[in-house]
Amino acid sequence: MLSNSDPRPAEGLRTIINVSGTMTGLGASIVVPQAVEAVAAFLPHFVEIGDLHRKASAEIAAACGSEAGFVTACAAAGITLSIAGAMTGTDLCAIERLPDATGLKHEVPIQVGHMCHYGAPVEQSIRLAGARPVPVGTSTKSEPYQLAGAINERTAAAIYVVSHHVVDYGQIPLESFAEVCRAKGVPVIVDAASEYDLKGFLAKGADVVVYSAHKFLGGPTAGIVAGRKDLVRAAYLQNNGIGRGMKVGKESVIGTMVALRAWAARDHAAVRRREVGALMLWRERLSRVPGLVATIVPDPTDNPLDRLEVRVDPAAAGCAAWDLADALAAGDPPVIVRDHEVERGLFFLDPCNLHPGQEAVVANRIEETCRRAADGGVARTTLAERKARRLAGLLAWPD
């Protein structure tokens, strides 16, 4: 039986409300009850991990339309291990040598516009395998001929990133990217960590696709690698090498398997209706707040969800977008908004991780905080001051 009580206060943790989205720094997502129950059932028991992974491979293959799959620590680990597998194949000696790539194909083309930062630089996931990122094009323009020119006898694989963090124009479409790589015998690895579409990227020509189990799927913290059997096998075998530090336990594997089953059975239309209800409430109430412009906007990577864009006029609102975001995070209860674009004068509200009734609490907190801002009760800072404060806080951890 799952408990509805909130364990955070007993551990001295804040009872935050997450309207930022499936963010790793907030615990990613609400784990679906089926996965919670499965994990709890498995924890007291021993299991042969290789056999459990074999069962997971079949589950992933069915869900993703792939030949095979396996579960690793997270999507970032999945990128590293997939690249490592493309470098070593099933050569166990080479696997044990990594990240020493001597004698191995080790170059990995990636479009410059895809070299984003999702909490760490995506190209670091390449370097951890002992590979070398090869930039393709410029940040706002990449062409198929530039990709073809970056591929040579040292190329192990190419990586394609699907994310709201990447440049969303001037990039090579996946189909064209895969066509160029296929003509040269180079496998394509797609980073689709936060994507709903479990089958489309392989259908568009990817050889391996990497997902997060702990984002939209609502599983425990884990990464899913799905694709060609030979490449997935080679990635899995990295558990005998650099993958040892990225391994998962029985709880993550079974939790991911059950989360995939729950995803297939989920009433996605009902979930969508609840999310739209929250968005409509927010737009109606925040549109009446001086200095705020509230607009419902689609997901930038075409996931079937919308968010509320809240644009802040500092003169009318009494503070900048980042000051309002910080005041919401510091309040009671703390409301964490999606603030990665605050320097543009806006932030977003994401309804996908709300518990029932929290949408009204969020609206109340924003209205109350804006009233305080209008009366001078919210500190006004520069963007540079905010960045410096956040950096100082990071470097002072655990104090």
Domain 268-395: which topology?
Aspartate Aminotransferase, domain 1 (3.90.1150)
What value does the mean pLDDT take over residues 53-67? Answer: 96
Is the CB of residue 83 less than 8 Å from the CB of residue 106?
no
- Cα separation, 173 vs 38, in Å, equals 39
CA-angle at 259, arms to 257 and 264, nearest 5°: 100
SS (H, E, C) the chain: CCCCCCCCHHHCCCCCEEECCCCHHHCCCCCCHHHHHHHHHHCCCCCCHHHHHHHHHHHHHHHHCCCEEEEECCHHHHHHHHHHHHHHCCCHHHHHHCCCCCCCCCEEEEEHHHCCECCCEHHHHHHCCCCEEEEECECCECCHHHHHHHCCCCECCEEEECCCCCCCCCCCCHHHHHHHHHHCCCCEEEECCCCCCCCHHHHCCCCEEEEECCCCCCCCCCEEEEECHHHHHHHHHHHHCHHHHHCCCHHHHHHHHHHHHHHHHCCHHHHHHHHHHHHHHHHHHHCCCCCEEEEEEECCCCCCCEEEEEEECHHHHCCCHHHHHHHHHHCCCCEEEECCCHHHCEEEECCCCCCCCHHHHHHHHHHHHHHHHHCCCCCCCCHHHHHHHHHHHHHCCCC
- Per-residue pLDDT of 333-368, as tens digits, reads 999 999 988 999 999 999 999 999 999 999 999 999
- Cα separation, 368 vs 319, in Å, equals 14
Q: Residue 2: which pLDDT band, with cuts at 50, 70 and 90?
A: very low
pLDDT attached to residue 233: 97
User: CB-based contacts of 22: which residues, under 8 Å, 6+ apart?
Assistant: 28, 29, 194, 212, 214, 215, 216, 352, 353
Residue 99: cis peptide before it, omega within 30 degrees of 0: yes
* For the chain, percent of residues with pLDDT exceeding 70: 99
Model confidence, pTM: 0.91
Q: Which two tokens stand for residue 291?
A: 């200095």
The mean of the pLDDT values for the chain is 93
Q: Residue 4: which pLDDT band, with cuts at 50, 70 and 90?
A: low
pLDDT attached to residue 296: 95
Q: Is the pLDDT of residue 1 over 80?
A: no
- Per-residue pLDDT of 111-142, as tens digits, reads 999 998 888 899 999 999 999 999 999 999 99
Point out the least confidently predicted range of 18-32, 36-50, 282-296, 318-332: 18-32
- Cα separation, 136 vs 157, in Å, equals 13
What value does the mean pLDDT take over residues 161-177? Answer: 92
- Per-residue pLDDT of 233-283, as tens digits, reads 999 999 999 999 999 999 999 999 999 999 999 999 999 999 999 999 999
Q: Is the pLDDT of residue 3 over 60?
A: no
pLDDT attached to residue 138: 94
pLDDT attached to residue 25: 82
- Per-residue pLDDT of 76-99, as tens digits, reads 999 999 999 999 999 999 999 999
pLDDT attached to residue 129: 96
Domain layout of the chain by residue ranges: 32-265, 268-395
CATH of 32-265 among 3.30.910.20, 3.40.50.720, 3.30.1490.20, 3.40.640.10: 3.40.640.10
- Cα separation, 199 vs 190, in Å, equals 12
Handedness of CA 70, 76, 82, 87 (dihedral sign): negative
